[in-house]
Structure 1
Amino acid sequence: MPPVKPTVLNPQEAEKLERIAFILKTVAHPLRLGIVHLLEQHPRLSVSSITEALESEQSLVSHHLQTMKLKGILSAKRDGRSVMYSLKERDVSLIIECLENCQCNM
């Protein structure tokens, strides 16, 4: 039996896989995953609310929020003296949900 020749990805499939890899690399940290999880439950949260919920230092949470904002995963809007963060990319939630539901042996 001859070896199976792999099919070449079309440009759309390749682009989709690049996007998924980009999202996974961006959120590949427990604190960032925690932030995404919180923002799935509460569409808009302030830095202080996220810090309190995750029981983490404000400077560390702010750093991760800024990174995810710069990468296009989160959006931020000023509301008085607070900055409110929300998920900009619904794909993030879908990818994480898929990974949470996989039957991986860990």
Structure 2
Amino acid sequence: MGTLHVRVEQKKLERAAYVLKCVAHPVRISIIDLLEQQQRLTVTEMQHVLAIEQSLLSHHLTNMRDKGIVDTQRVGKNIHYYLTDTTITNIINCINGCNRF
């Protein structure tokens, strides 16, 4: 057996743990999935697809924005949400590819 070592630098591990804690909820993972499919969405558009109360969706989006996962852009009267780092969408591919879920 060869020498074992940590293959990912500490800073990347800390960021990964932080992001995973921030998105560790089915609604938040669904939001990421929606924003992967359509880069910018309003709360109303997401609410229509997710079929949850607007207040609950807004709570999750505010938390994700505070943690730097999503951000907003005003377009006329609408506020559009988008992912700040699209590499987080890789989590959806991992979930879909795992046979144990």
The two structures have a TM-score, normalised by structure 1, of: 0.82
Q: Which runs of 5+ in 1 are unaligned?
A: none
Deviation of 1:91 after TM superposition, in Å, equals 2.4
Tell whether 2:43 aligns with 1:43. no
Q: Which runs of 5+ in 2 are unaligned?
A: none
Aligned residues: 101
The 4+ residue runs of structure 1 with deviation greater than 2 A are 4-7
Which protein has the larger Cα radius of gyration, Structure 1 or Structure 2? 1
State the superposition RMSD in angstroms: 2.1
Identity of aligned residues (%): 42
Tell whether 2:93 aligns with 1:102. no
The two structures have a TM-score, normalised by structure 2, of: 0.86
Partner of 1:60: 56
Match of 2:85 among 89, 97, 102: 89
Partner of 1:72: 68
Match of 2:29 among 21, 33, 41: 33
